[in-house]
Amino acid sequence: MADRAAQDVQGWGDPEDPIVLLIGAPESLFADWRRSVRALVEAGRRVVVAPAASEDEAAALRRLLTDLPSRPALICSQAGLPTVIPALQVTGPALASGLVVVTSDPPSHADAEARPELAALDLPLLTAARRDDPDQAEAENAAILGFLERQAPREALHYLAGSDPRTLRDALGCFATGVTVVTTRDQTGQPVGLTANSFSSVSLDPPLILFCLARSSTNVESFRQAEHFAINVLHIGQQPTSGVFARSGDRFQDVAWETWDTGVPILSGALASFECATDRIVEAGDHLVIIGRVTRARFEPRRDPLLYFRGKYRRLHFS
């Protein structure tokens, strides 16, 4: 950074990462600014705060934008727009990659675009409501991170393509799923269960759901011959349970479970459980598609689900 103002900025994160420039004190933009800055840094962003100017704040901001090593994304409050708008009103290449306006009211993209000055900037724009509730603040962070990734990707987009099994598996992994444990009893009456994420609803009338089971599974005959089975949807705190049912050994030894009408195992405390009568089994390639008619369902509406995406467990961000 050649300019003294650029050298004096307060910042966090790797200097080589794409820059996010905060206009105004961080605490004026985020209820928990340390948490929000940390989220930006962990997402691969360099966060800097524009230094206060003693005079002509718009001109000082324009000089800073010119001296930064790359075009930053700007985050400002509505109070900062009188500084930001004139600073960005320049001929030639845009000085910023995008603009996030943090409002005190629920965000309205239409209201922000209605300002002629903002529309004239011809700049990617996001309006995000400042969330004082810690749980809601996470939704604000997620919205900003999503905008930054769309408008200023950390790395150039590079698509992988092919028809080989590895490419297909990785492409399918781009579809985020929940995580379930499917259970039944074997021919001797012993409980059987395994982790599965290939679960889907099929019909409400009649109530049908399905899961897919690899034909190579050691439990395939137990499910093929079972008249009943259960599907248990796991919540965010049940990642260890998912691991237990993905490994060999006695999977039910340290897991709380119960039975309902049909006697198949129901995991106690699951986010949701569905007791099913086997409706039909369809052979499809190297898997069986097992369709069940739901006879009873139970769920807990206040918990968050355990998610699985691209080979890793994830958590949900509510907006």
SS3 at position 97:
coil
Within-domain flag for 72: yes
Within-domain flag for 194: yes
Bridge-based pairing of strands 98-103 and 73-77 is parallel
Considering the domain architecture, whether residues 136 and 22 belong to the same structural domain is answered as yes
Considering the domain architecture, whether residues 141 and 250 belong to the same structural domain is answered as no
Res 291: pLDDT: 98
Within-domain flag for 289: yes
Q: What CATH number does the domain containing 120 carry?
A: 3.40.50.1820
Please indicate, yes or no, whether the overall pTM of this predicted structure exceeds 0.85. Answer: no
Which pLDDT band, with edges at 50, 70 and 90, does 16 fall under?
confident
Considering the domain architecture, whether residues 306 and 173 belong to the same structural domain is answered as yes
Considering the domain architecture, whether residues 146 and 179 belong to the same structural domain is answered as no
d(CA 68, CA 74): 12
Bridge-based pairing of strands 19-23 and 73-77 is parallel
Q: What CATH number does the domain containing 256 carry?
A: 2.30.110.10
Q: Residue for token digits 């001797």?
A: 188
Considering the domain architecture, whether residues 12 and 118 belong to the same structural domain is answered as yes
pLDDT digits (tens, 9 = 90+) for 90-108: 777 789 999 999 887 555 5
Which pLDDT band, with edges at 50, 70 and 90, does 287 fall under?
very high
Considering the domain architecture, whether residues 254 and 291 belong to the same structural domain is answered as yes
Domain count for the chain: 2
Residue 274 · residue 297 · CB < 8 Å: yes
- Residue 193: CB atoms within 10 A of its CB come to 25
Q: What is the DSSP letter of 54?
A: S
Considering the domain architecture, whether residues 203 and 291 belong to the same structural domain is answered as yes
Considering the domain architecture, whether residues 132 and 177 belong to the same structural domain is answered as no
Residue 111 CA to its chain's centroid (Å): 27
Q: In the predicted model, is pLDDT for residue 4 greater than 70?
A: no
Rg (CA), the chain: 26
151, 179, 196 - which closes a domain: 151
Identify the CA nearest to 183 among candidates 278, 254, 280: 278
Most confident of the ranges 42-56, 134-148, 184-198: 184-198
Within-domain flag for 319: no
Buried/exposed 94-133: b ≥16 CB within 10 Å, e otherwise: ebbbbbbbbeeeebeeeebeeeeebeebebbbbbbbbbee
Within-domain flag for 178: yes
Within-domain flag for 245: yes
Within-domain flag for 48: yes
Q: What is the DSSP letter of 50?
A: P
Mean pLDDT in the chain? 88
Q: Quote the domain boundaries for residue 186.
A: 167-314
Q: In the predicted model, is pLDDT for residue 232 greater than 70?
A: yes
Considering the domain architecture, whether residues 179 and 290 belong to the same structural domain is answered as yes
pLDDT digits (tens, 9 = 90+) for 43-58: 889 999 988 776 789 9
Q: Residue for token digits 């080589």?
A: 16
d(CA 181, CA 240): 12
* Strand arrangement, sheet containing 307-309: 177-178, 307-309, 312-314
d(CA 69, CA 1): 7
For 251-280, what is the mean pLDDT?
96
Res 135: pLDDT: 67
d(CA 242, CA 181): 7
Token pair listed for 6? 């650029």
Considering the domain architecture, whether residues 212 and 132 belong to the same structural domain is answered as no
151, 178, 204 - which closes a domain: 151
Res 109: pLDDT: 54
Per cent of the chain over pLDDT 70 is 91
Res 319: pLDDT: 40
Considering the domain architecture, whether residues 143 and 16 belong to the same structural domain is answered as yes
Considering the domain architecture, whether residues 137 and 213 belong to the same structural domain is answered as no
For 228-254, what is the mean pLDDT?
94
Within-domain flag for 40: yes
151, 185, 208 - which closes a domain: 151
